[in-house]
Structure 1
Amino acid sequence: MSLIDRIATCFASLGPLGRLPASGTWGSAAAALTAPVFFMPAPWAVRLLVLALVFVGGGLACDIVERNTGIKDPGLCIIDEVLGQWITYLPFAALTPWQLFWGFLLFRVFDILKPAPVRASECWMPGGYGVMLDDALAGVYAAMALGLLLALGL
């Protein structure tokens, strides 16, 4: 395995987290725990840039991991969970710990259930970008649901 392959695998898997059981949940938890420090305090434009970089970098990295493993959307790739979880928090400047938890839970539900068109979106883009896109859409659903809960007084 080349150095580029090792770097891509480390990025796509968030280091050792991608090798844990229920790796997607661990990836989402890592994103939820780091969002209040590394993502949410940033200005809106910076957050959009971060999401774009995670999407592009994650797509490239997941593509390499798919090619090396021969598996479509391998469980090892959890950088897509970071993208989706941070998209869930994108509209909000600050959230309480309970609101962060609800955002985490909502994203996991939409990511697992994959309501239309989330499941179909896996095929809209080739390789690793399909891996990233379905979680991005699950994050959009979760952001809307969290916004609704907050509007209702959560």
Structure 2
Amino acid sequence: MSEHPNEVPATFVPPSVWRNPWHFIAFGFGAGTLPKAPGTWGSLVALPFIPLWQLLPSWGYWLMLGVSMLFGFWLCGKVADDLRVHDHEGIVWDEIVGMWITLWLVPPGWYWLLVGFAVFRFFDILKPWPIRWIDRHVHGGAGIMLDDVLAGVFAWVAMQVIVWVAA
């Protein structure tokens, strides 16, 4: 039984995704409405942005990450509250930001995008400590975002090692 009696099922795709711009963004521009593995689809949505972010100086990319995370705390919390679901599986803004973190300071090229995608999904799905603890114990927009931000940080460290070894 849910702790919120008016909570809707997390698998329900709300029609507001197509009408409300905040819901549309939180649902990864619609990717979070796909029936299987919305987090994977959300992670893929992040990839086309990476070549644009890589045009920024490293501090500009870092600044964009900070703004995206802060925006995500608000956005994910707002949309979860609107939908009356703690962490609707269709909310994938957190995966998008996690992917952007993973690929900060990684060389350009499709190969690195694919490796980064695989490494991020590994950490996001496996949820090693403390990611799993955060996922279970931190609530609201911060809880929705932080597990994927931390998965992105773990994946970023792994990517930096992979890039260093490959160089």
Q: TM-score range by the shorter chain?
A: 0.7 to 0.9
Identity in percent: 35
Q: Which runs of 5+ in 1 are unaligned?
A: none
Q: Name the structure with the higher helix share.
A: 1
Shift of 1:81: 0.9
Contact 2:25/2:93 (<8 A) preserved: yes
TM-score (norm 2): 0.81
* Structure with larger Rg: 2
Q: Give the one of 5, 25, 34 matched to 2:40.
A: 25
Q: Kindly report the root-mean-square deviation, in angstroms, between the aligned alpha carbons of the 2 structures.
A: 2.1
TM-score (norm 1): 0.87
Aligned partner of 1:136 in structure 2 is 149
Contact 2:101/2:152 (<8 A) preserved: yes
Q: Which amino acid aligns with 2:59?
A: A
How far apart, CA to CA, are the structure 2 residues paired with 1:55 and 1:63? 12
> How many residues matched?
150
Aligned partner of 1:14 in structure 2 is 28
SS at match of 2:20: helix
Shift of 1:121: 2.2
Aligned partner of 2:56 in structure 1 is 42
How far apart, CA to CA, are the structure 2 residues paired with 1:15 and 1:43? 26
How far apart, CA to CA, are the structure 2 residues paired with 1:137 and 1:83? 10
Q: Which runs of 5+ in 2 are unaligned?
A: 1-14
Shift of 1:145: 1.1
Which stretch of the first structure deviates more once superposed, 113-122 or 77-86?
Answer: 113-122
Aligned partner of 1:57 in structure 2 is 71
Shift of 1:91: 2.5
